Amino acid sequence: MDNLDGFLELEADNEHSEIKVPVMQVELSVRVRYFLNGTGVGYCGLLINEVNGKGFRGSIEAVAAKAYVGRTIFVFLSELGDGKKLITVPALFEKQPTFNGSIDLSGLVIKTYYPDGFKKTPQDVYKEHLNALIGKKICNDKDGLSRDLLELPKKGIEILKAYR
């Protein structure tokens, strides 16, 4: 996975660079890399290494999802002037998702993009993120953005677990 021009890669320990992501009946094993630029935008690339299913249905879904092994999911993050975080993520659901209320999403402005089989390049997703930032004030706290970026996959897992 190449990084975007103007972005520097952040160092990440093993806890933040190798994670397992549960999605419905399937678990994705991903390698994560983190990048940050000087204008208040960061992103992570989650390279799908392995797909495993839970139970009969999960095994069938995992076989279908094996086509995604080797593809990268891109998630962009910026902190806005009002303290909220704009996150650009792939739309994983065909309808507007509902959550069980166990997680507070009020601090997030979520912009989704059509993942096109996770074939989108980081440039494509960055462009969508920048379009969502039009007219918004960006906070350029590099340390805060770095911390938030490293915790982004864990936050994403919490959100997926809260999905109904």
pLDDT in tens, 62-95: 998 898 899 998 999 999 999 999 999 887 666 6
Classify residue 66: in a domain, yes or no. Answer: yes
**The pLDDT of residue 105:** 79
Classify residue 99: in a domain, yes or no. Answer: yes
Provide the residue range defining the domain that includes 98.
Answer: 8-157
Classify residue 164: in a domain, yes or no. Answer: no
96 Cβ contact list (under 8 Å, min separation 6): none
Classify residue 162: in a domain, yes or no. Answer: no
Classify residue 3: in a domain, yes or no. Answer: no
* In 11-129, beta strands by DSSP E: 18-23, 26-36, 42-53, 72-80, 85-90, 108-113
108-140: pLDDT as tens digits: 888 888 878 778 899 999 999 999 999 999 998
Classify residue 2: in a domain, yes or no. Answer: no
Residue with structure tokens 């940050």?
A: 36
What is the number of structural domains in the chain? 1
Q: Mean pLDDT throughout 24-35?
A: 91
